[in-house]
Structure 1
Amino acid sequence: MASTGNAAAGGLLRDHLGRCSDAFVANLGSCSITRAELRGALEGLRIAWRRGFKKIQLNLDSSTAINIIKNWADNDHNHGLIAQQIGELLSRRWEVNVCHIYREANFAADFLASKGHCVNFGTHLFDVCDPELRHWLLYDVRETAQERGILI
């Protein structure tokens, strides 16, 4: 597994209108980008479960992480332990839909991930009233409402 240096993750829980109820940042130390994506998914699912959510759409911009989550079956895989932990959460009594989204539709999560570099090692809850986060939340809601054109 190639290391990319110090990694961070961030995520948030939003309702169907895009309003944020919870947010987190995580300083993960040295790990790959894929591991950081999986750790962010794991932390977000843990928070959602603790908060009692029963219907979740887990949005990730990494198709590699999504593939690992949806198709993992090998404990000896580089990301086996994290994939197993995510799988255990997914098997609980709730509905979780794992979806790919474009990075451009999730600037709030990217903002939080960048903040993860500024905190001590571990996962930390983030103030959802932070003006910068509120800016990116509004931006995400406004931008995802617009049609996205893709050039090939």
Structure 2
Amino acid sequence: MGCSDVVLESDSAVAVHLLNKSVDAFHPLATLLWGCQNYIKKCWGCSIYHVYRECNMVADRLANLGSCLDLGLCTFHVLPDSIRSSVVDDLRGLCRPWTVV
């Protein structure tokens, strides 16, 4: 798509931590993490940050939508209806209350 700088935000603090640090060869996910890290370093500048789900509902809705899609890369040329209201809320800086279960 021609992007040169990417900001990746995830509500998984563990995933962000694992992608941002060097991984020991004995880690059970080492091969997967190395593959992700190598891909991230390839062609663009990529920053990876942890954000709370309640403050980035677009990412949360995309993650939920992704769990229903087939494996592989999925690109959207039109914004899915289930995400439209979240985009407006995120652009306005609306932050949902933190849900503790």
Residue pair 1:66, 1:100 contacting (<8 A) in 2 also = yes
Distance in 1, Cα, partners of 2:35 & 2:82? 32
| Residues 128 and 108 of structure 1: CA distance in aligned 2, closer, same or farther (over 3 Å) | farther
- Give the structure-1-normalised TM-score: 0.52
Distance in 2, Cα, partners of 1:73 & 1:114? 27
Distance in 2, Cα, partners of 1:118 & 1:91? 28
- Give the structure-2-normalised TM-score: 0.73
1:72-118 Cα offsets, whole Å, 9 max, x none, are 32233122122111211232242211112111122112212222343
Name the structure 2 match of 1:143: 93
Task: Note the 1:87-106 alignment, pairs <5 A.
Answer: 87-106=37-56
Over aligned residue pairs, what C-alpha RMSD do you find? 2.4
Gaps of 5+ in 1: 1-50
Instruction: Indicate which of 77, 82, 87 corresponds to 1:132.
Output: 82
Instruction: Indicate which of 62, 65, 72 corresponds to 1:112.
Output: 62
* Shift, 1:126, TM fit: 3.8
Gaps of 5+ in 2: none
Instruction: Indicate which of 66, 79, 82 corresponds to 2:16.
Output: 66
Name the structure 1 match of 2:71: 122
Name the structure 2 match of 1:56: 6
Give the number of aligned pairs: 95
Higher strand proportion (structure 1 or 2): 1
